[in-house]
A and B are shown apart, each in its own frame.
Chain A
Amino acid sequence: MDLAYTPRQKAFREEVRAWLAANLPREPLASYDTREGFEQHREWERKLFDARLSMVIWPEALGGRGCDLIEWLIFEEEYYGAGAPMRVNQNGQLLLGPTLIEFGTEAQKARFLPRMASSEDMWAQGWSEPNAGSDMAAITSKAILSADGTHYVVNGQKTWSTRASFADWLFGLFRSDPASSRHHGLSYLAVPLDAPGVTIRPIQALNGKQAFAEIFFDDVKVPVDNRIGDEGQGWHVAMATAGFERGLLLRSPARFQYTARRLVELYKANREVADRDPSIRDAVIEAWTGTEAYALSAYHTVGRLAKGARIGAEASTNKIYWSELDLKMHETAMRILGPFAELTGDAPEAVEAARWLDGFLFAQAGPIYAGTNEIQRNIIAERMLGLPK
């Protein structure tokens, strides 16, 4: 155990800090759940990419920087610590990206990854269907291989696809063997959203914006080269993606530590009002302890990975932990803000309050997306503790 950063790690931190100080947008970007904000975020991603800071853990040849996971944690600390914009293409970069690196052909990696790192291609997910939510193996959308074997013909419907209204591509699971059931006979495909036969219908989310969409496929032709992994092996490939998602990559500790710091500041600035309810002080303390615990767990996990360990079902404890912590912190902020908490961004008296409200609304989704926390608890019980199905 040696908890000092190396000179190289310190230099990297300084470099990232200096670059962010010089390049952060002067004004906050518009919400990436709007077309305007989405494109602003795309421009920001391009800027990051040009500085080789978009996907620091990817190999240089694929648009990354070849950093190890400790350096990635350092990058995240500087990035979120500086209050930099949310990452609009994270579903592609953090979920499909690692899957392609593990399962993609060399041609697929070269074709998709650099454009994903630069956000020239923006990616949406295609898992859930109207009758396949927590029970993802109930997927019925079909992808039938053409007689000449050159392409799949895709029919069906996907839903809850984040920012699909604005995205360029979709990745997800389709039933390629119509006689199959459950997790057999599924294939993992990348589908261009401008292909003929694709219809996107936005779904207005809790925040009033087009945060997600449902997608209809009507005889959509998808080249066979767009299949990731072997035919019928989609479930196996998707489970690897789910592992990454629940694990560390999607939710590094830094963004929650940043929220905790803001919460402590909010509490200090409003202490007279807040202390009328003594439980608020406790909740503020728990924001710091909770986010520190999450950061410490990340460093511990990264250290074990470097020594050859694999992340197993304990990834599910991560998902539960960060989503419930994030919710608790935002609830606490709402309680401190009291009658100002409900004010939206355009209300004359709302400034900081509106940012907390946005975060509060989004935090409601945390325990639901990426596999509900009930599903995560089942996974922990069955795969980590070995309890019977």
Chain B
Amino acid sequence: MDFTFTDDQLTFREAVSRFLMTEAAPERLREIWDTDTGRSPELRKNIAEQGLTALSVPEDCGGLGMDDVAWALMTQELGYYALPDSLADAAYVAAGLITALPVGTASREEWLSRIAEGSIRIAVGHPVNPLVADANPADLLLLAHGDEVHAVLRDQIEVEANASIDLSRRLARVRWTPATATLIADGEAGRVLWAQTLNRGALSTAGQLLGLAQRMLDLSVDYVAQRKQFGKPIGSFQAVKHHLADVATKIEFAKPVLYRAAYALAHGEAGADARVSHAKLACGEAAWLAARHGIQVHGAMGYTWEVDLQMFMKRAWALDASWGDRGFHKARVADAILVEGAALGPGHTFEE
């Protein structure tokens, strides 16, 4: 029983953080927001050069074969820097779905190799999300028709952009026609694939929300330590301290929930759905509290475009309902704990 990360995992996280600190600095974020596509080919190229697109691609397809637990650390960094790129959608969520296709499925190995080398953008249209993120710049889309999974090329779809308050999110309504040629998994296989994909998408989002919460807390701590009123830093006032202490507490108790969910997913545990939903709820609540208390302690500055806080708040507000809103995830938790004979209480945190 060891519910901690290895030194290698923690070193990997630090390396990702150092890389994103310069590549995804707030000023870069603003530049990319201002572009039409909202995406930077140069940024994606640099990410690929770091090997980050290859993380969960199997080793025999040129990847590193890392599991969901590694992504629980990685996605926190993506959130912390509010990376304006859909890296996790392709390199984690789509890579997971494609890896799970039977070996020999047409194009499976080719797609995985291209994900690993960073030469393909893949958008995932899971039925839980009404709009598809990054459909426009995608080379390939994985779309649902009932339970079937279809792989559709960009020129086979029509895209209607739907602007989000988070300019890093490029959402679209996608119109397309299913065909035998696009089918990669039938309804029976697809049901399982979409269920796994939902969990990966929700876990990825949860990790990003937790990273966002930490970033908003850090920004707020910096601000209240500097801003003076009544002759002293506002961070010395208890009303302000307690707002931020509450955020720190929320974050502290969301982290291990995220890690437990990642482990459940990596090991195919029967209770993984409830664990992932718990993580999504805990991380979403931490992020929303960090945003609410963050803007409050920033005062009017927090309500401006100029101060960086807004970029992280908007991502947090948007991601909270992405890959299943709170009602969806609460229902999944309720299903697990209210069912007859549910294994609850002391001694069931790791064994069912």
Contacts from A to B (Cβ < 8 Å): 1-6, 9, 13, 70, 74, 76-78, 80-81, 253-254, 257-258, 260-261, 264, 267-268, 281-282, 284-285, 288-289, 292-297, 299-300, 302-304, 306-307, 314, 317, 320-321, 374, 376-378, 380-382, 384-389
Q: Write out, one digit per residue, whether chain B residues 267-286 have a CB within 8 A of any chain A CB (1) or not (0).
A: 10000000000100110000
Task: State A70–B254 Cα separation when bound (angstroms).
Answer: 21
Task: State A314–B252 Cα separation when bound (angstroms).
Answer: 8
List the A side residues contacting B345 at CB < 8 Å.
Answer: 81, 257-258, 260-261
Task: State A3–B253 Cα separation when bound (angstroms).
Answer: 18
Given known contacts A299-B349, A387-B221, is B330 in contact with A5 (CB within 8 Å)? no
Interface contact A264-B3, CB-CB below 8 Å? no
Interface contact B252-A3, CB-CB below 8 Å? no
CB under 8 Å from chain A, chain B span 221-279: 221, 224-225, 232-233, 235-236, 238, 240-242, 244-246, 248-249, 252-257, 259-260, 263, 267, 278
Give B220's nearest chain A residue, CB to CB. Answer: A385
Q: Which listed residue (B6, B233, B346, B348) contacts A388, Cβ 8 A?
A: B233
Interface contact B350-A3, CB-CB below 8 Å? yes
Q: Write out, one digit per residue, whether chain B residues 132-148 have a CB within 8 A of any chain A CB (1) or not (0).
A: 00000000000000000
Q: How far is the CB of B283 from chain A (nearest CB, A)?
A: 11
Give A293's nearest chain B residue, CB to CB. Answer: B253
Interface contact A13-B347, CB-CB below 8 Å? yes
Interface contact A296-B260, CB-CB below 8 Å? yes
Task: State A296–B261 Cα separation when bound (angstroms).
Answer: 11
Interface contact A299-B3, CB-CB below 8 Å? yes
Interface contact A321-B346, CB-CB below 8 Å? no
Task: State A311–B255 Cα separation when bound (angstroms).
Answer: 16
Of B88-96, B166-174, B196-204, B331-339, which binds chain A? B331-339
Interface contact A317-B252, CB-CB below 8 Å? yes
Give A256's nearest chain B residue, CB to CB. Answer: B346
Give B67's nearest chain A residue, CB to CB. Answer: A1
Q: Which listed residue (B236, B241, B253, B333) contacts A377, Cβ 8 A?
A: B241
List the B side residues contacting A281 at CB < 8 Å.
Answer: 334
Q: Can you list 7 A-B contacts with CB-CB less than 8 angstroms, sorted by A residue number?
A: A81-B347, A261-B345, A303-B4, A377-B241, A385-B217, A387-B224, A388-B235
Q: How far is the CB of B12 from chain A (nearest CB, A)?
A: 14
Given known contacts A288-B333, A386-B221, is B1 in contact with A299 (CB within 8 Å)? yes
Interface contact B346-A81, CB-CB below 8 Å? yes
List the B side residues contacting A289 at CB < 8 Å.
Answer: 257, 278, 281-282, 333
Give B254's nearest chain A residue, CB to CB. Answer: A293
With A81-B346, A293-B253, A299-B3 given, can you name 20 additional A-B contacts, CB distance below 8 Å?
A: A1-B3, A2-B2, A3-B2, A4-B1, A5-B350, A78-B347, A257-B344, A284-B337, A292-B257, A297-B256, A300-B255, A303-B1, A377-B241, A378-B245, A381-B241, A381-B248, A385-B241, A385-B245, A387-B235, A387-B236
Given known contacts A303-B4, A388-B235, is B347 in contact with A381 (CB within 8 Å)? no
Interface check B351, CB cutoff 8 A? yes
Give B238's nearest chain A residue, CB to CB. Answer: A378
Chain B interface category by residue count: 35 or more
Task: State A13–B351 Cα separation when bound (angstroms).
Answer: 13
Instruction: Tell me the dominant secondary structure on chain B's binding face.
Output: helix
Interface contact A388-B232, CB-CB below 8 Å? yes
Q: Write out, one digit per residue, whether chain B residues 1-39 have a CB within 8 A of any chain A CB (1) or not (0).
A: 111111000000000000000000000000000000000
Given known contacts A1-B69, A3-B3, is B337 in contact with A264 (CB within 8 Å)? yes
Task: State A70–B1 Cα separation when bound (angstroms).
Answer: 8
Interface contact B349-A295, CB-CB below 8 Å? yes
List the A side residues contacting B278 at CB < 8 Å.
Answer: 289, 292-293
List the B side residues contacting A317 at CB < 8 Å.
Answer: 248-249, 252-253
Interface contact A288-B3, CB-CB below 8 Å? no
Task: State A385–B293 Cα separation when bound (angstroms).
Answer: 15
Q: How far is the CB of A203 from chain B (nearest CB, A)?
A: 29
List the A side residues contacting B256 at CB < 8 Å.
Answer: 293, 296-297, 299-300
List the A side residues contacting B281 at CB < 8 Å.
Answer: 289
List the A side residues contacting B221 at CB < 8 Å.
Answer: 385-387
List the A side residues contacting B342 at CB < 8 Å.
Answer: 264
Q: How far is the CB of A254 from chain B (nearest CB, A)?
A: 4
Q: How far is the CB of A285 from chain B (nearest CB, A)?
A: 5
Interface contact A307-B4, CB-CB below 8 Å? yes
Task: State A285–B330 Cα separation when bound (angstroms).
Answer: 8
Q: How far is the CB of A295 from chain B (nearest CB, A)?
A: 5
List the A side residues contacting B337 at CB < 8 Å.
Answer: 264, 284-285, 288
Q: How far is the CB of A179 from chain B (nearest CB, A)?
A: 31
Interface contact A296-B257, CB-CB below 8 Å? yes
Q: Write out, one digit per residue, whether chain B residues 308-334 have a CB within 8 A of any chain A CB (1) or not (0).
A: 000000000000000000000010011
Task: State A388–B221 Cα separation when bound (angstroms).
Answer: 10
Give A297's nearest chain B residue, CB to CB. Answer: B256
Task: State A4–B221 Cα separation when bound (angstroms).
Answer: 38
Interface contact B245-A293, CB-CB below 8 Å? no
Interface contact A387-B349, CB-CB below 8 Å? no
Give B256's nearest chain A residue, CB to CB. Answer: A296
